[in-house]
Amino acid sequence: MNSFCLEMREVCKNFGGLRAISNVDLCLEAGERRAIIGPNGAGKTTLFHLISGTLLPCSGAIHLFGKEVTRLWPYHRAALGLTRTFQITNLFRNLTLFENVVLAVQALDQAKYSMLRPVSSYRRLGHRAYELLEQWGLRDKADAPVRILSYGEQRQVELIMAVAGNPQLLLLDEPTSGLSPAETGMVTELIRKLDSNITILLIEHDMDVAFALADRVTVMYFGSVLTEGSVSEVQNDPRVGEIYFGTE
């Protein structure tokens, strides 16, 4: 047993002849905030799919919270305390904001299969949902369908739904993609203020955001880990500049 929150050993993933992830080792300590950066096609999102269980690795092992999860179903991993947000906003568009959050809250509640009692009769679910909305300043929009919220608000809802179940490990897939600079600043601040016990693994294209949020940075390039280190180490690594800014 070890104290790693997430531990990946020699993980590979091929799509046909294409090696998307090759021999990746990645270890996160509890409470750590790690950013993964790398050019398009480096395998960042595939790595997320492997961690969350949407894709299964061809070889290698993945441990979450000291438990082997390499071939476990995604919902089992979620029950262990893993949640994620999506790069492309993925919400229940035709349901209200409140209903969205309730679905996130009840996901890990024992009442999730209950059929013969209205959800409104479970006070703890509604209470927790309103509490979250209050906390994130969206209480007055509770009854609006999520699709009419602004894009920035929808990105916030992504985060609310991810933290609703009190996860231990949170995967953020480009949380600020498509946001205006002002909104980016706001969302960055919201992530920074998340409970410091939550371990965060974040994919980010915006270097300012990545360096502002992360303690350590992993650089991926063509499916492999190029380097890993503290923010300043990575910033000063000439190879990083080369793969990233080489064409400029």
Partner 1 sequence: MTVRLPRIAAASGLLVVTLLLPLVLPGYYVDLVTQMLIYAIFAMSLDILLGYTGLPSLGHAACFGVSAYTVGLVSLKITSVFWLVAGAALGASVILSALLGFLALRSRGVYFVMITLALSQLLWGIAYQWRSLGGGDDGLPGIGRPKLEIPVSFADAANFYYLALVFFVLVAAVLSVLVRSPFGNALKGIRESETRMTSLGYNVWLYKYLAFVIAGTVAGVAGMLAAYYKGYVSPADLSILLSAKVMLMVILGGAGTLIGPALGAGLIVLLENVVSAQTERWPLILGVIYVSVIMFAPLGIVGKFRRKPRKSADT
In the complex, the residues that contact partner 1 under the rule CB under 8 A are 52, 54, 73-75, 78-79, 83-84, 86, 90-95, 99, 102-104, 106-109, 111-120, 122, 125, 147, 161, 165
Nearer to partner 1, 60 or 167 (CB): 167
d(CA 70, CA 3): 18
Nearer to partner 1, 132 or 234 (CB): 132
d(CA 100, CA 105): 9
* Least Cβ distance, residue 212 to partner 1 (angstroms): 25
d(CA 144, CA 153): 12
Nearer to partner 1, 50 or 226 (CB): 50
d(CA 149, CA 145): 7
* Least Cβ distance, residue 133 to partner 1 (angstroms): 16
* Least Cβ distance, residue 85 to partner 1 (angstroms): 9
Nearer to partner 1, 83 or 176 (CB): 83
In the β-sheet with 224-230, what is the strand arrangement from edge to edge?
82-84, 169-173, 199-203, 33-37, 216-221, 224-230
Q: Using an 8 Å Cβ cutoff, are 217 and 230 in contact?
A: yes
Nearer to partner 1, 15 or 73 (CB): 73
Nearer to partner 1, 107 or 231 (CB): 107
Nearest to 69 by CA among 3, 159, 9, 110: 9
Residues 6+ positions from 192 with CB-CB distance below 8 Å: 212, 213
Tell me whether strands 216-221 and 224-230 are parallel, antiparallel or unpaired.
antiparallel
Total length of the chain: 248
Secondary structure of the chain: what % helix, strand, coil (to 5)? Answer: 40, 25, 35
Nearer to partner 1, 59 or 150 (CB): 150
Which single residue is written with the structure tokens 């993609």?
A: 177
* Least Cβ distance, residue 70 to partner 1 (angstroms): 17
* Least Cβ distance, residue 169 to partner 1 (angstroms): 12
| Structure tokens belonging to residue 178 | 């498509």
Q: What are the residues facing 16 on neighbouring strands?
A: none
* Least Cβ distance, residue 163 to partner 1 (angstroms): 12
* Least Cβ distance, residue 138 to partner 1 (angstroms): 18
